[in-house]
Every structure is written in C-alpha cells, then in structure tokens.
Amino acid sequence: MNLSIFKTKKELQIQSDQQGYDVLVKSVNAPIECIKDARDEFKRNKIEIKTLEELSKGNFIEILNQYVDAEYKKSTTVKDLKLSPEDFKERRKIETSKLESLQSIYNNLINRNEQLYDFNDGFFKHCENAYHSKDPYKQKIFKKAPKKRDYRIGDMFTITGNKVKLDIPKKPFEMYLLNNEQKELIVSINKFIEASKELEFEPKFIYDAVKKYLASDTGYLLNNVVFNYNEILTHKL
C-alpha cells in the first residue's frame, strides 16, 4: 500500500506511535552513551579527549595508541631509561581491556540495522508475530502493508564537536486506519460508551461490551478511553 494514498486522507491518520519511536531513540542513544563511556576511560588513562567527535569512528584503540606513541616520543624518561614502547606503556599503566570492549560494542551497535515499515510500523510488526506464516488472514493483512526499509543505527545520528544530533525517521511511527470502516468503528464505540453512561448502564456491562477494542491501561470506568489499535486495524480488512 502506498503511503501517498493516505496523504490525501488525513481523516484516516489517528496518532503517532510514541512508544515505538522512544524505543528506537533508546537504540540510537546506546552507541552515543558508549562513546561517552570511552571518553571517561581515556580520562582514567590520563588522556584527554577534547570532543566526542574524535571517537565517533569507533577506533578507540588506534586513538589510544596514537596518544601513547606521541607521549613516548616526547618523553625524556624514555631516553634516559632506554625504554621500549611496551615498557613505557607498562610504566604508564595503560589499561586497554575496557576500551577494547567498548570499541567492540560501539561498532556492533552502529552497524546494526532496524527494519521499519513506512507507516504503522508497530502494528505490522505485531502482526508478524501474532499470526502463523501460513495463516490466510495474515496474508490478507500484509496486502495492506507498506514497504519495509533498513535503517542503519549509525546513520541516525551525527556528532560535531561535542554536539549530538539525532536524525530518526518519524514516518514509520505515524499511524493510519486502513479503511473507513475502522474509522466508523471508533466513532461507534465512543457513541456507545457515551449513550450507555447517559442511560446509567452498569460499568461492567459497558466495559465488557467494548473491552476487545481497548488498550489494557484503559480504566474500568472508561473515564479515559485508550484504543487497542492492534485490534482496531484488523477490522474489516
């Protein structure tokens, strides 16, 4: 299904999947935190890294060796004691194991791909797991699915100096109803709840009648109705 179809049907756009977006933000922030930890580790080795950008390529050990080699060449102690580079590192008490670990973690994180549908990403991923691969209903659902694209984690942020800028796609987390019947269903549920309350029906009767379409955090008294869009979006497909 082409997203452009929905651009002319704004009435079918319902909300954004903030929870899904926040999960991706957390994934993108993970390598950034890794760089900050690496800078702290350099500091413990008495090496000052002036900017996060200096570490953004993920070559922590190479940078460490460059700093230590520069110190080695300038050191008068080296000449006096005729120290080898290895002896100098040992006297300097350079610790590399933590940086090696951080370097590996960082590079694995930035090279990881996130696969995102062009819209309704959370719904279609839910359906990937909720139905058996040969379920005819699943096949029907995925006739409505947009294109799924790869997004590399390392391409979703840039570091300039000590400033970090996130560039996370938002469209995959835009949510759209997939037909007008789903829109009518939401309207009908809201009208039913409103009319039932006016007629003073028992809260349990009202709740049980519509709970299939409500999110688990919707209160029993339905003072704040939150829809389960994973259920709504399968209606009349």
Shared domain check, 43 and 155: yes
Question: Which residue, of 136, 160, 176, is where some domain finishes?
Answer: 176
Q: Quick one: pLDDT at residue 68? A: 87
Whether residue 86 is contained in a domain is answered as: yes
Q: Quick one: pLDDT at residue 121? A: 97
Shared domain check, 171 and 186: no
Q: Please state, in angstroms and rounded to a whole number, the distance separating the CA atoms of residues 212 and 205.
A: 13
Average pLDDT, the chain: 91
Question: Which residue, of 176, 199, 219, is where some domain finishes?
Answer: 176
Whether residue 237 is contained in a domain is answered as: no
Instruction: Work out the average pLDDT over 98-113.
Output: 98
Whether residue 123 is contained in a domain is answered as: yes
Long-range contacts of 46-49 (CB under 8 A, 24+ apart): 46/92
Q: Please state, in angstroms and rounded to a whole number, the distance separating the CA atoms of residues 169 and 7.
A: 17
Instruction: Work out the average pLDDT over 213-220.
Output: 88
pTM (2 decimals)? Answer: 0.86
Q: For residue 218, which of 226, 208, 210 has the smallest C-alpha distance? A: 226
Give the chain's domain count: 2
Q: Which residue has the higher pLDDT, 30 or 131?
A: 30
Residue 88 has pLDDT above 50, yes or no: yes
Residue 3 has pLDDT above 70, yes or no: no
Q: Quick one: pLDDT at residue 85? A: 78
Q: Which residue has the higher pLDDT, 83 or 58?
A: 58
Q: DSSP of 189-214, one letter per residue?
A: HHHHHHHHHHTT--HHHHHHHHGGGB
Q: Quick one: pLDDT at residue 38? A: 98
Shared domain check, 143 and 78: yes
Residue 80 has pLDDT above 80, yes or no: no
Instruction: Work out the average pLDDT over 146-164.
Output: 97
Shared domain check, 159 and 122: yes
Domain that holds residue 218: 180-232
Shared domain check, 95 and 53: yes
Shared domain check, 33 and 15: yes
